[in-house]
Amino acid sequence: MSESTATTTTEGTTARSTGASRAAEAGGVPIVLDGVTKKYPGTDSAAVDDIHLDIAPGNIVMLVGPSGCGKTTTMRMINRLIEPTSGRILIDGEDVLSLNDVKLRRTIGYVIQQIGLFPHLTIEQNVAMVPNLVGWDKKRTASRVEELLGVVGLDPGEFAHRYPRQLSGGQQQRVGVARALAADPPIMLMDEPFGAVDPITRTKLQDEFLDLQRRLRKTIVFVTHDFDEAVKMGDMIAVLDKGSRIAQYASPEEILTSPADEFVTGFVGHGATLKRLQLERLDSIELKPASTAPPGVEPLPDRSTLHDVLDAMIADGQDAIPVTRDGEVVGTVTLVDLLDRVKELRAEADAKAGTTSPDSRPGPTPGTTADVDLAAGTGAEDQR
Amino acid sequence: MYGLPFPEYLSAFREDLIGGFQRHMLLSVYVLVIATIVGVVLGMLVYRNKLASAAAIGSLAVWFTIPSIALFGIFVPIFGFGLGTGVPVITVYGLLPVLRNTIVGLNSVDAPTLDAARGIGMGRFRILWQIELPLAWPVILAGVRVSGQLIVGLVAIGAYVGVTGLGEQLFNALVNLGSVNTFNQALAGTLLVAVIALLLDAVFVLVRRFSTPKGIRV
């Protein structure tokens, strides 16, 4: 675990080089859960039963599973809000159980669904709490608060001296994220952070957070019960069953294409093919010349996902959509190209999964439900 | 039968009345300060423990059910006539509203707020001091306010065991019922006690206004 300190430094450099954040941001550090168990007295089965999890630095790991599966308990043991009954938790190679729990938590960002801002303190004071706890001087704290409010999209001049109740839910959670990031912790724990806001705000917060994370490269443990959110946000997903049994720990692509067992399949739910499209960016497709685009169709930016493209095609009733890069139209994406790409993805997935399913089967047509079969190599019987 | 007309009574006994008013008011404030400090500190010691909270509130509630006259009577042989008995007995009465509101206020802080406070690395004492106490403050203050009203009334009854204040006026009126000026005594005593109660209340409105954190002011 200690060898990864080198990674941390390089990631820190990447963060600085974007120029978007003035302060040097520390990248993430690895987390290892080693046989961690939590058993509450008077209960027969453990809430968390012997979980082993290796979390690479700079990754977002999604803990996803049905309610009561122990995902939140697992997360809360990392910053010792809940003390494990047995097992070891190593952060950057150091056993957290050997550290002072209060001081440990100051080095770990913490964001929860109910936000939990301090209502009697201003936004500025809320965000400054951890820097104050770790003893930053006033000037450094003040400039950090100002910077962070900007980073999470709140104008410091307008918001710094307001109180939490004067903000909307979405704005409050931005402050919640800023508070967690304040003292630049290498690790963040997030418990359904965007679960309580409306769907539009949620999508926006997710997108912005992903942008932010691309720069910060924190190690993030993110709890959700929403598989779609897990697919969207995660570098890795741990699908958890009762007692935090890890049903599968893999990349979103792999879980969508080859779910490990019935439980994962059930959890992935219907429409795995479509979900898979959310992971693929438009720039993975070779574009047709811009001139072939039908007139009067709203263009999409090249950062869009294939899911967005398909959605727009269906919505507009078009089989070709112009694509823009930095506002300039650079080409056209067609439905045929999109389907070809889906076929490629399936072939890659099959090759990876080592299955023998034929590559020749037709790609899924939009509107039909290919579902999990894209992956599993179970054949294409249910193509209609 | 009724003695002097009321305004003349007031001016004739001005010094007695002013003296009684001052003593009554000061004594009420002293007792209230003691009851508040003891009540809040006791509340902070027990609020996290359900059993201790229940025990503290319960024993004071029992005390509350006993008429003050009876308690004064019980303690006079022990602490003697005067403030020695009056102050402790009245203080204990004044404790209950403060203690109960302190416990309720400290426990009514939102669970997510506390979870966030712990989660970002605030220690137990810091959470109490920087989060729970400020958030519970309006509730605690409401308890102190009730306690203040209670104490002003009890100081009057304290005259029975030699607590000098406006209570003397009232008791003289009762003892000499039917003789000259008793009506004046009763009226003057009652009015002045009411004035103290109102003054104290006005102070609370101000204290509440200036000491409640802005973010939770209603």
- pLDDT value of residue B128: 96
B215, A105: Cβ pair inside 8 Å? Answer: no
How high does pLDDT run on average in chain A?
84
Calculate mean pLDDT across residues A143-161: 95
- Closest residue of chain A to B126, computed from CA coordinates: A133
Residue A324, beta-bridge partner list: A301, A329
CA-based nearest distance A245→chain B, Å: 25
- HSE, side-chain direction, 13 A CA sphere, residue A102: 9
Looking at residue A275, its amino acid is: K
* Whether A117 and B113 lie within 8 Å, measured CB to CB: yes
Share of chain A above pLDDT 70, in %: 85
**A77 to chain B: which residues are within 8 Å by CB?**
none
Closest CA to B204 of B39, B32, B59: B32
Instruction: Let me know: does A8 contact A57? Beta carbons within 8 Å.
Output: yes
Neighbours of B54 (CB within 10 A): 12
pLDDT of residue B115: 97
Residue A91 makes CB contacts below 8 A (sequence gap 6+) with A29, A30, A31, A78, A108, A187
The residues of B whose Cβ lies within 8 A of any Cβ of A are 110, 112-123, 126, 131, 134-135, 213-216
Q: Which residue has the tokens 């790991």?
A: A61
What are the structure tokens assigned to A81, written together? 């809000």
A288 DSSP 8-state letter: B
Local mean pLDDT, 10-residue blocks, chain B (218 residues): 78 87 94 97 95 91 89 88 89 94 95 96 96 95 95 91 84 80 86 93 92 83
Residue A112 has its nearest CB partner, among B116, B214, B215, at: B116
Average pLDDT over residues A33-52: 92
The dihedrals phi and psi of B182, each to the nearest 5 degrees, come to -65, -35
CB contact (8 A) between residue B112 and residue A115: yes
Which of A105, A108, A163 is nearest residue B214 as measured by Cβ atoms? A163
**Cβ-proximal residues to A327 (8 Å cutoff; 6+ apart), any chain:** none
Q: Residue A367 above 60 pLDDT?
A: no
Reported as a single tens digit per residue, the pLDDT across A276-325 is 888 888 888 888 888 887 888 888 888 888 888 898 899 888 888 888 88
A249 in contact with B, Cβ within 8 Å: no
Cβ contacts of B116 on chain A, cutoff 8 Å: 110, 112, 115-118, 176
At B10 the pLDDT is: 86
**Res. A25 pLDDT band, cuts 50 70 90:** low
Which residue in the set A102, A118, A130 is minimally distant from B113, CB to CB? A118
Contact A116 B117 (CB under 8 A): yes
Position A12 confidence tier, pLDDT thresholds 50, 70, 90 = very low
pLDDT at A182 over 80: yes
| Of A24 and A52, the one with more pLDDT | A52
Q: Tens digits of per-residue pLDDT, A221-231?
A: 999 999 989 99
**Chain A positions in Cβ-Cβ contact with residue B213 (cut-off 8 Å):** 120-121
- CA dist A116 and B122 (Å) reads 13
What residues 99-128 of chain A have any CB closer than 8 A to a CB of chain B? 102-110, 112, 114-122
Residue to mutate among A73, A99, A117, A120, with most B CBs inside 10 A, is A120
Interface confidence, given as ipTM, is: 0.83
- pLDDT of A96 strictly over 90: yes
pLDDT, position A365: 42
Q: Measuring CA to CA, which residue among A11, A6, A31 is closest to residue A92?
A: A31
CB atoms within 10 A of CB B101: 25
In the β-sheet with A328-334, what is the strand arrangement from edge to edge?
Answer: A300-301, A320-325, A328-334
Cβ contacts from A onto B, under 8 A: 74
pLDDT at A4: 41
* pLDDT value for A364: 42
Name the DSSP letter for residue A305: B
Interface residue A75 vs chain B (CB under 8 A): no
Confidence label for A269 from pLDDT (cuts 50, 70 and 90) = confident
Q: With 90 as the cut, is the pLDDT of residue A208 above it?
A: yes
- Are B213 and A121 an interchain contact pair (Cβ–Cβ within 8 Å)? yes
Name the minimum distance, in Å, from the CA of A166 to any CA of chain B.
Answer: 9
Predicted confidence band at A145 (pLDDT cuts at 50, 70, 90)? Answer: very high
Q: Which of A115, A118, A176 faces B131 most closely, judged by CB atoms?
A: A118
Q: What is the pLDDT of residue A7?
A: 39
Residue of A nearest to B215 (CA): A120
Count of positions (residues) in chain B: 218
Residue of B nearest to A181 (CA): B120
